[in-house]
Structure 1
Amino acid sequence: MFKKIIVAVDIAQIDKGAKILKKAEALADDGGEIVVLNVVEDVPGYLAIDVPGHVIENNRKQALDTLDKMRAEIKVRTRAELRTGQPASNILAAAEAHHADLIMVASHRPDISNYFLGSTADRVVRHADISVLVDR
């Protein structure tokens, strides 16, 4: 059905990520590709100054290792990508850069903060130029 799928994974909610990755595998065309994407929000400068550089680098390595373990269980061609910054805009940028035809993202039950700030899934759905599958 889809040639290129972006699967946005939150490392803090790895079970949800694994669930949507399996769904992406079922939706991918023969010869299709899945990009497993994790976006790490920037650490504010006033906090980053107190964090040793190796801690941040170790966290990035652990995130990539986690994505690679997830990829190993999928039969469709996959690649892992780690980005830094605002999650929704980076998910949309990755979809554009990879010429994706589907974005998959997990969503949590909304709470009061979502009504003021909006969730990542909400922002992706509102601004995407391609199909978005939101899994709950």
Structure 2
Amino acid sequence: MYRKIIVAVAIGNMDKGEIILRKAASLLDEGGEIVLLNVIEDVPTYVAVELPANIVEDAMRDGREKLEGLIARTGIRATVEIRNGPPAKAIISSAENLGADLIIVASHLPDFSNYFIGATADRVVRHAKCSVLVDRQKV
């Protein structure tokens, strides 16, 4: 079905990450590729002065370790990519740079705040140039 799938995983919600990784594996063409992606948001400068200097690097290392653990636990072949920046923009950019034909992202049920701010999944759906599957399965 799909040759290259980006699976965006929030490190704080690895249970959903495992669910969408398994879903990606079921949708992948033989010989296709899954890329597990975690995005570390940039820390605003006014907050960064109060935090340890290496907080972003530590978060990126932690994200890589957790995603590699997810691969080991599931036995599903995938590569890991860690990016930083605004999540939706980083997910879309990764999909475009890697030539993905599907993005899978987990999403919570929309609430009142989505009408003012919008969720990452909303932005990805609106702006991605490839297919997007939004998984709303409860964990």
Q: Which residue of 1 aligns with 2:15?
A: 15
How much has 1:53 moved relative to structure 2? Answer: 2.3
How much has 1:129 moved relative to structure 2? Answer: 1.2
Distance 1:96 1:38 in 2: 16
Runs of 4+ in 1 over 6 A off after TM superposition: none
Gaps of 5+ in 2: none
Q: Which residue of 1 aligns with 2:75?
A: 74
Gaps of 5+ in 1: none
Task: Tell me the amino acid that sits aligned with residue 6 of structure 1.
Answer: I
Q: Does 1:26 align with 2:18?
A: no
Distance 1:3 1:29 in 2: 5
The normalised TM-score by structure 2 is 0.92
Distance 2:55 2:123 in 1: 30
Distance 1:90 1:74 in 2: 26
Q: Does 1:60 align with 2:60?
A: yes
1:40-95: CA deviation from partner (whole Å, max 9, x where unpaired): 1111111111222234322221111001011222333x110111111111100000
Q: CA RMSD in A?
A: 1.1
Q: Which residue of 2 aligns with 1:86?
A: 86
Q: Percent identity among equivalent residues?
A: 54
The normalised TM-score by structure 1 is 0.94
Does the residue aligned with 1:32 lie in a helix, a strand or coil?
strand
Q: Which residue of 2 aligns with 1:126?
A: 126
More displaced stretch, 99-108 vs 56-65: 56-65
Q: How many residues align?
A: 135
